[in-house]
Amino acid sequence: MATLSAGSTTSVSVAVGETLRISGNAEVSVVAGITTSVSGAGSFGPFGAITPISVKAISNIQYSSELEETSRPLLFLDSNGDAQGIRNKDGTATRFQGVAQYYKFFIPGQQFIGSGDAKDKSGNAADATRLASLTDAAAWANPGYITSGAGANFGLTIPVAKFSFDLASQSVILSFRLKKVGPVGSESIIGCGDAAAAQGFYLSMRAASGSVSKIRPILNTSGGVVSGLADSLATFGEAAATDHVVTLAIDGITKGVFLYCDGTLSNSYTAAFTGGTTIANAFGIGSNTGNVGATSVAGQFSGIHFLVFDGVLPANIGIIAQKLSANPHVPLSDFDMEF
């Protein structure tokens, strides 16, 4: 076994089928940015590919890479080499949460003045770009939110190539935290379609009644425009702006639409539409599209998730909505999905 002095760091290349064994106190990193503490003794592997592991000795340690069976915790990797979890001898597991493969974009929207466009954290480089009239200072004026303004080009845009979907064979989830006063007249707040020729969908915040406002999903597909769905049972806008997590799920196979408010189902629209979608409009935050010249409305947004699934929605969509409400700024992982 090799020896590493306290405070020293080394990189160990573990061969296929081998296990790294450590005796002593150390910090071990198999995946960049994720550190596991070893106290006394620990093992990592076996691995299905040559794996570089960073080891930092907290005390003087001994370590070796050996081709042998072990009953100590194992670190499993998927085909991309991403850590999927540590499973112990008693069957318990600790999972490393990664971003689900179904994401088109995930925009936390919690940046600071001077930080530029709203950054996508899904790994797809789908940043939401500020349109011409929305300044950096205005976009990040409200800590914890991306803020859109009222007027032409005061919203944000994501290009079609980054999120396109077809509701003939795919399903989608859109979820975001919203803080907005109930409008005097109905306002289109987010989406990628209109009620004329542009296929897609958007959310309309309805004119306030009794100081509260509802939301209505509007879809435009090859089967026609669906603008007459019932307004939400839940309230999303009040006289004094209040945080609400809006989650919209559209099933392209069953043609069902589901609207959640703060993790609770508000409306279930069965057989709500027909046909599919050919998306031509950019995705808009603060408007129903992100096209140049689009008229947006004032609103505060954060924790914006957009996922696309081939086939039906996950069977546990209700639980997913609850998780998105509880942790709107944390991405979902593949472990959260059940089909």
The reported pLDDT for the residue numbered 85 is 52
Q: Has residue 86 got a pLDDT over 70?
A: no
pLDDT (mean) for 95-123: 91
**Co-location of 190 and 297 in the same domain:** yes
Residue 142 has pLDDT above 90, yes or no: yes
Taken in order 220, 225, 230, 231, is the CA torsion positive or negative? positive
The pairing of strands 283-285 and 224-226 is unpaired
Of 64-78, 183-197, 215-229, which gets the smallest average pLDDT? 64-78
Q: Say whether both 147 and 278 belong to one domain.
A: yes
Two tokens at 222? 């090859």
Among the listed residues 173, 162, 158, 177, the one whose alpha carbon sits nearest the alpha carbon of residue 118: 158
- If asked whether residues 89 and 216 sit together in one domain, one would say no
pLDDT at 68 exceeding the cut of 60: no
153 and 219 belong to one structural domain? yes
Give dist(CA 301, CA 285) in Å, integer: 8
- Taking residues 78-93, report their average pLDDT: 49
Structure tokens at 110: 């919690």
Are 111 and 42 found together in one domain? no
Query: Domain boundary at 42, 63, 94, which?
Result: 94
Are 264 and 130 found together in one domain?
yes
pLDDT tens digits, residue range 115-137?
Answer: 999 999 999 999 999 999 999 99
The pLDDT of residue 200 is above 60: yes
3-class DSSP state of 284: strand
Q: Is there a single domain that holds both residue 244 and residue 120? A: yes
Confidence of residue 1 (pLDDT cuts 50, 70, 90): confident
The pLDDT assigned to 181 comes to 92
Q: How far, CA to CA in Å, does 307 sit from each of 47, 104, 128, 198, 276?
A: 31, 5, 15, 20, 17
Determine how many CB atoms are found less than 10 A away from the CB of residue 23: 17
Show the domain range for 11. 2-94
pLDDT value at residue 80: 44
Segment 2-59, tens digit of pLDDT = 899 999 999 998 888 788 888 888 888 886 667 788 888 888 877 777 888 889 999 8
Which residues, in sequence order, are CB contacts of 220 under 8 Å at separation 6+?
193, 194, 195, 196, 197, 198, 199, 200, 201, 226, 277
CATH number at 292 reads 2.60.120.200
Residue 84: the pLDDT is 52
Average pLDDT score, the chain: 90
- In this prediction the pTM is 0.74
| CA distance linking residue 182 with residue 237, whole number of Å | 4
Q: Using 50, 70 and 90 to split pLDDT, how confident is the model at 95?
A: very low
Answer yes or no: is pLDDT of 171 > 60: yes
For 289-334, write each residue's pLDDT tens digit.
999 999 999 999 999 999 999 999 999 999 999 999 999 999 999 9
Other C-beta atoms closer than 10 Å to the C-beta of 129 total: 17
The SS3 assignment for 56 reads strand
| Tens of pLDDT, residues 203-244 | 999 999 888 999 999 999 999 999 999 999 999 998 889 999
Domain count, the chain: 2
